[in-house]
Structures are given as structure tokens and as C-alpha cells.
Amino acid sequence: MTEIKRVGVLGCGLMGSGIAQVAATAGYDTVVRDVSKEIWDRARAGIEKSLAKLVEKGKLPAANREAALKRLSFTTATTDLKACDIVIEAVTEDLALKNALFQELDGLSGPATIFASNTSSLTIAAMAAATKRGDRFVGLHFFNPVPLMPLVEVVRTVTTSAETFRRAFAFARSLGKEPVAAKDNSGFIVNLLLVPYLLDAIRAVEHGVASVPDIDKAMQLGCGYPMGPLTLLDFVGLDTTYKIAEIMFAEYREQRYAPPPLLKRMVIAGLNGRKSGKGFYDYSADPPTLVDLGI
């Protein structure tokens, strides 16, 4: 089986840029596709900042940062990913969008190329079925922020071959990550448990249980979590969380996955969290201030 040398990444938002960063740092030539140069410029700036932090903290030699940046290239053309040995998709959480990209790439990629999705909530089978490489299709679910979070859930579908799963698992390890094997159920392991908790925190705001900062403080200081749930929602992105909740609710028909109305209102208003500048908190100030949601 071909050795993995060249990595393709579809999407360079929060997750795609982090995945591209760790792949390039681990020594892979990495090609990243997104829809515009403005988006890559933002992703490249974020990657440069993150690598600089890692160098500053003594976690990465300065020479490795330069080498990683040289291995990274950006494109708007899916064809530029055709020579990749593995392609990791990290575009918006939308099945039709993901499948259109996978179908386009399926006709271009070599027979040994592995396709992987970083989806939070879709089943991998729903994407694998749109291609002719169901045996070479896995889930590789990274965590935000990718350069710092050690876990990758490696997901085997009913059609993934044992060889593909083994290669994907070894690839995750080669990125310096700690892989775990997960079944192809919506939300895998972490989001099955994390998403109801995050949605419950929004329901707690809706019900006036406590203020936003006090809910965050309570979970940080009472449970030792690194971030409170509303800060974490801003960090993940409220738009992404809303899509995840819709998908998981459609899959399980369980109330705990239902998107709370406040989440929907905030997304409609463009309060998508840290990436849009405002969510539960306003990030234009340091430290961030509370957004008045009128509740």
C-alpha cells in the first residue's frame, strides 16, 4: 500500500486550518482547498500565529516552523488535491456540500487515496455511499483547537476495510495525536456526550438558572473544566453547534439533541461566537465582555 506523503485538506476554517497545521508540522506536504484567497490568508495568518506560540513556548523548534510553512499550499481548485494520499474534509457541517466535494474528488484521486471526514455529527456512511471508495473511507474527528487537543476519533463504517482503518489510525498517530476507535454513530463518542451538555447550558440560560458568566464559572470551578460551556460554545461556533444539533436530533429524535430556540435566534443574528467576534461574549475587548441578549 502507498505510503502517505501528501495530505489534502478540504476547508480551512477553524478545523481545516488546524488539521493542515498539524499535518505540515508532522512532515507531510499539505494542500488546502477553500473557496477564496481571503479565507486562506486568514487561515495562514492563524497558522503562523499558532506555530509562533508553540515556538515561543519551546514546544516546537523554530526550524520546524519554517519547514512546516514551506510544506503548506493553498488552492481554490479541487483538482490540486488529486495527487494526495489522504484527503481530510473539514468544510461546513452540511451533507450535500461534503458529498458534492467527495464526488468531484472521487473521479480525480488515485485508487489508493483514503478519504476522511472530520464531521462532528454526520455518519461517515452517508458520505462514503456517495463515492465509489466505501472501503477507503473513514472518519478522522479532530478536536478544537487542533494543535493542542491530543484526541482523534478514528471511525470505521460498515464498508471501511481493515487495512484502511489501520492506515488511518497510524496516520493519526503520526500527527502526534492519540487515536481512539469509534463506531459510526452520529456524534461518535465525544459529541454524543458533549452536545447534550452544551445544549443544556443554553437551556439553563433560557430558563434564567443563572447568568452566563456564573454558569461558566460554576462548571469551571465546580467540575474543573478548562472552559465553561458558554465560552466553549463560542469557541466551537454557534452556527456549527446549531447544525450539529439539527443533525443529531434528526438522527436520534431525542429532546436532549434538540437545538434550543435561543441558539437559533443567535445564529440568525450572526452571533456565531469567537469567529464572528460575538456570541455569548464580545471578543472585541480583552478580556471579552458579556453580550446583552435581552434575557
| Euclidean distance between CA atoms 63 and 169, whole angstroms | 28
Annotated active-site residue 191? The verdict is yes
Report the first-to-last Cα separation within the chain, whole angstroms. 58
Residue 224: partners with Cβ closer than 8 Å, 6 or more residues away: none
Residue nearest to ligand NAD (CB): 13
**Cα 127 from Cα 78, distance rounded (Å):** 17
Which of 231, 265, 8, 35 lies closest to 113, judged by CA? 8
CA 240/CA 263 separation, integer angstroms = 11
Nearest distance in Å: CB 274, ligand NAD: 10
Nearer to ligand NAD, 161 or 185 (CB): 185
Taking CB under 6 A as the rule, does residue 186 contact ligand CAA?
Answer: no
* Cα 82 to Cα 101: distance, rounded to the nearest angstrom: 12
How far is Cα 234 from Cα 78, in angstroms, rounded to an integer?
30
Q: Is 141 a catalytic residue?
A: yes
136 is a site residue for ligand NAD (CB under 6 A):
no
Q: Is 153 a catalytic residue?
A: yes
The single-letter code of the amino acid at 200 is D
Burial of 194 (0-12, 13-18, 19+ CB in 10 A): middle
Least distance between ligand NAD and beta carbon 8 (Å): 11
Stretch that binds ligand NAD, among 8-16, 174-182, 193-201, 212-220 (CB under 6 A): 8-16
Indicate which single residue of 27, 145, 277, 288 sits in contact with ligand CAA (rule: CB under 6 A). Answer: 145
Residue 120 appears among annotated catalytic residues: yes
Residues with Cβ within 8 Å of residue 213, at least 6 apart in sequence? 228, 290
Q: State which of residues 179, 187, 237, 273 lies at the interface with ligand NAD (CB under 6 A).
A: 237
Q: Binders of ligand NAD among 74-93, rule CB under 6 A?
A: 90-93
Nearer to ligand NAD by Cβ, of 28 and 242: the residue is: 242
Residue 62 near ligand CAA by CB under 6 A? no
**Residues within the interface to ligand CAA (CB under 6 A):** 50, 53-54, 57, 120, 143-145, 147-149, 190-191, 194, 226-227, 232, 236
**Residues within the interface to ligand NAD (CB under 6 A):** 10-16, 33-35, 39, 90-93, 97, 101, 118-120, 142, 144, 236-237, 240, 244, 275
